[in-house]
């Protein structure tokens, strides 16, 4: 199977990058693709209305695409039997290569570095055939220097900036603390400036379902340890985990373990021969970003947030839904960028929202077309509770069928410096012959809401 075209479109449909390898697909394939994605009609029940699947065939052309940072990264082929998994893996790895070489994957970065992007495309694919998709092996063949994209949050302070605003931007952080954007560096730039750092993110995505009383129905953690290496040389990296870490629940050790994971898998170059005995991994980290380990755990953890709902029928045409969200994370941390969505019945004509005490900075929005109430909480401190009362007026009597249309409540959030499994990196050792070799190591924990749902009825 061969790839005919690879192109990158903005959210508006503007063509930023376009590479035609085989000249067997019409040049306006990007217009055909964007029109189909923009006005997806749900034909043949392939996907809901307006929700285009990542793989489809239009006018005899097979398209596969990935959404990243508001961009549409697309691969096309004239082969009607093209493998979706093959094209999907191509796009995922291509996005990783772009992020490694540009530092950050965004529209501005691609527009400023389009020459570098075309150089990468020439090395990755030749006449429609995949050649190489590993950043460390592409690096010797890439000669264009990346143009860095300045981050507004870390830009130079204006003369009129106050001390408070500069503190909020983190200009006076201690050396032991780094911003999340510190990893937005190109692997080419890092080599030139001899950066000697390694960043590790322990990311856990929670899939939890609550009933109306706030009791957990199902719970699961999908975790990954993501590393981004800017190390000088090729040292051996030794990563040590919890001593009482247990994988699998069949043995007797699982009853007494603090951290009990259901399954794990490792990077292809990692040496896990000592993982069972010493809980250590040994590897030579490749350039750029890579996943050291994926793991999964079901149950046996405390969700960071719990939702309890109650409905009160005011009259036949009015009802009040009260949402109570309790934070069960330590008081020393907080959830950020939280968005709570609650669908309302289709017969709803108007909605009013009342927020509880201590709702400073919180906002809400009622989207009439979608019949959804969105409640935004920029910061949710641990050990606290927030309340939202949604008052609905309907054009038809509020019945049991209307009650079924209410909800479920979904939550999206992020909790920095917190994880629910208890998995920690006990030590991070780099072996190098020189005694002066002392790279900086940065470890960060992040908990995110994946499919975090609370039923109302």
In angstroms and rounded to an integer, the radius of gyration of the C-alpha atoms of the chain is 25
Which residue from 408, 391, 421 is spatially nearest to 260, judged by alpha carbons? Answer: 421
The tokens for 413 are 């959030």
Q: Which position has the higher pLDDT, 366 or 190? A: 366
pTM for the predicted model, two decimal places: 0.78
Average pLDDT over residues 370-377: 92
Cβ contacts of residue 361 below 8 Å, gap of 6+?
Answer: 377, 378, 379
Q: Do domains 197-302+418-454 and 305-416 have the same CATH topology?
A: yes
pLDDT at 138 > cutoff 70: yes
Instruction: Work out the pLDDT band at 176, boundaries 50, 70, 90.
Output: very low
pLDDT at 192 > cutoff 60: no
Interval 30-73: pLDDT, tens: 999 999 888 887 666 566 666 788 998 888 899 999 999 889 99
Q: Partners of 227 in the beta sheet? A: 200, 290
Q: What is the C-alpha to C-alpha distance for residues 405 and 227, in angstroms, rounded to an integer? A: 43
Average pLDDT over residues 434-444: 79
Cβ contacts of residue 83 below 8 Å, gap of 6+?
Answer: 1
- What does the pLDDT read at residue 294? 94
Greatest alpha-carbon pair distance for the chain in Å reads 79
Average pLDDT over residues 216-230: 91
The 8-class DSSP code of residue 271 comes to B
- What does the pLDDT read at residue 153? 39
Domain boundaries, the chain: 5-141, 197-302+418-454, 305-416
Average pLDDT over residues 309-317: 90
Average pLDDT over residues 187-204: 75
Averaged pLDDT of the chain: 85
Helix, strand, coil percentages, rounded to 5, for the chain: 20, 40, 40
Query: Superfamily for 305-416?
Result: Mu homology domain, subdomain B (2.60.40.1170)
Of the chain, the percentage scoring pLDDT greater than 70 comes to 87
- What does the pLDDT read at residue 189? 64
Interval 60-113: pLDDT, tens: 899 999 999 889 999 999 987 888 899 999 999 999 999 989 988 999 999 999
Report CA 266 to chain centroid distance, whole Å.
Answer: 20
Q: What is the C-alpha to C-alpha distance for residues 344 and 317, in angstroms, rounded to an integer? A: 13
Task: Determine which helix (DSSP H) or strand (DSSP E) holds 400, and give its type and residue range.
Answer: helix 400-405
- What does the pLDDT read at residue 230? 82
Q: What is the C-alpha to C-alpha distance for residues 234 and 141, in angstroms, rounded to an integer? A: 19
The 8-class DSSP code of residue 436 comes to T
Q: What is the C-alpha to C-alpha distance for residues 173 and 153, in angstroms, rounded to an integer? A: 13
Q: Is the omega angle on the peptide bond into residue 408 within 30 degrees of 0, that is, cis?
A: yes
Beta strands in 40-96 (DSSP E): 55-58, 61-68, 71-77
Q: Partners of 216 in the beta sheet? A: 210
Query: Cα dihedral sign for 39, 40, 43, 49?
Result: negative
Residue 450, Cβ density class (10 Å: 0-12 exposed, 13-18 middle, ≥19 buried): middle
Q: Which position has the higher pLDDT, 166 or 326? A: 326
Which residue from 88, 130, 134, 113 is spatially nearest to 17, judged by alpha carbons? Answer: 113
Q: Partners of 285 in the beta sheet? A: none
Return phi, psi of residue 27, to 5°: -70, -20
Q: What is the C-alpha to C-alpha distance for residues 196 and 439, in angstroms, rounded to an integer? A: 5
Q: What is the C-alpha to C-alpha distance for residues 72 and 94, in angstroms, rounded to an integer? A: 12
The 8-class DSSP code of residue 249 comes to S
Q: Determine the length of the chain.
A: 457
- What does the pLDDT read at residue 156? 43
Cβ contacts of residue 309 below 8 Å, gap of 6+?
Answer: 212, 321, 322, 323, 324, 407, 409, 454, 456
Q: Show the CA angle centred on residue 450, arms to residues 56 and 221, nearest 5°.
A: 115
| Helices and strands (H, E) in the chain, number of each type | 9, 25
Interval 403-426: pLDDT, tens: 888 889 999 999 999 999 989 999
CATH of domain 5-141: 3.30.450.60
Task: Report the 3 state secondary structure along 187-242.
Answer: HHHHHHCCCCEEEEEEEEEEEEEECCCCCEEEEEEEEEEEEEEECCCCCEEEEEEC
CATH of domain 197-302+418-454: 2.60.40.1170
Q: What is the C-alpha to C-alpha distance for residues 19 and 27, in angstroms, rounded to an integer? A: 10
Task: Determine which helix (DSSP H) or strand (DSSP E) holds 6, and give its type and residue range.
Answer: strand 5-9
Cβ contacts of residue 436 below 8 Å, gap of 6+?
Answer: none
- What does the pLDDT read at residue 359? 81
């Amino acid at each position: 199977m061969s790839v005919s075209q690879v192109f990158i479109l903005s959210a508006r449909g503007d063509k930023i990058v376009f590479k035609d390898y085989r000249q067997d697909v019409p040049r306006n394939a990007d217009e055909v693709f964007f029109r189909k994605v923009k006005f997806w009609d749900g034909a043949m029940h392939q996907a809901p209305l307006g929700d285009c699947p990542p793989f489809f065939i239009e006018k005899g052309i097979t398209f596969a695409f990935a959404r990243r940072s508001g961009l549409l990264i697309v691969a096309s082929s004239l082969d009607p039997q093209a493998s979706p998994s093959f094209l999907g893996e191509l796009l995922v790895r291509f996005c990783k290569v772009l992020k490694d070489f540009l530092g950050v994957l965004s529209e501005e970065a691609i527009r400023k570095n389009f020459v570098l992007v075309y150089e990468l495309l020439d090395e990755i694919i030749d006449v429609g055939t995949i050649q190489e998709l590993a950043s460390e092996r592409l690096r010797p063949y890439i000669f264009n220097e990346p143009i860095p994209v300045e981050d507004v949050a870390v830009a130079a302070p204006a003369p009129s900036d106050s001390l408070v605003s500069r503190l909020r931007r983190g200009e006076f952080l201690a050396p032991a603390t780094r911003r999340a954007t510190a990893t937005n560096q190109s692997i080419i730039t890092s080599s030139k400036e001899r950066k000697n750092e390694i960043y590790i993110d322990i990311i856990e995505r929670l899939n939890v379902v609550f009933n109306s009383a706030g009791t957990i129905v199902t719970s699961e953690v999908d975790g990954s340890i993501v590393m981004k290496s800017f190390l000088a040389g090729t040292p051996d990296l030794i990563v040590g985990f919890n001593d009482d870490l247990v994988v699998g629940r069949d043995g007797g050790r699982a009853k007494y373990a603090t951290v009990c994971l259901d399954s794990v898998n490792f990077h292809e170059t990692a040496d896990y021969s000592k993982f069972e005995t010493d809980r250590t991994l040994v590897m030579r980290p490749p350039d750029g970003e890579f996943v050291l380990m994926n793991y999964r755990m079901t149950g046996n953890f405390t969700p960071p947030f719990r939702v309890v709902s109650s409905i009160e029928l005011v009259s036949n045409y009015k009802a009040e839904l009260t949402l109570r969200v309790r934070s069960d994370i330590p008081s020393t941390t907080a959830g950020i960028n939280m968005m709570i969505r609650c669908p309302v019945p289709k017969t709803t004509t108007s909605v009013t929202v009342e927020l509880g005490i201590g709702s400073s900075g919180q906002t809400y929005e009622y989207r009439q077309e979608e019949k959804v109430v969105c409640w935004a909480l920029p910061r949710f401190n641990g050990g606290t509770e927030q309340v939202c009362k949604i008052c609905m007026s309907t054009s038809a009597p509020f019945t049991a069928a209307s009650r079924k249309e209410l909800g479920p409540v979904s939550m999206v959030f992020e909790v920095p410096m917190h994880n629910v499994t208890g998995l920690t990196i006990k030590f991070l050792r780099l072996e190098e012959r020189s005694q002066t070799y002392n790279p900086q190591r940065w470890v960060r924990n992040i908990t995110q809401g994946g499919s975090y749902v609370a039923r109302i009825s």
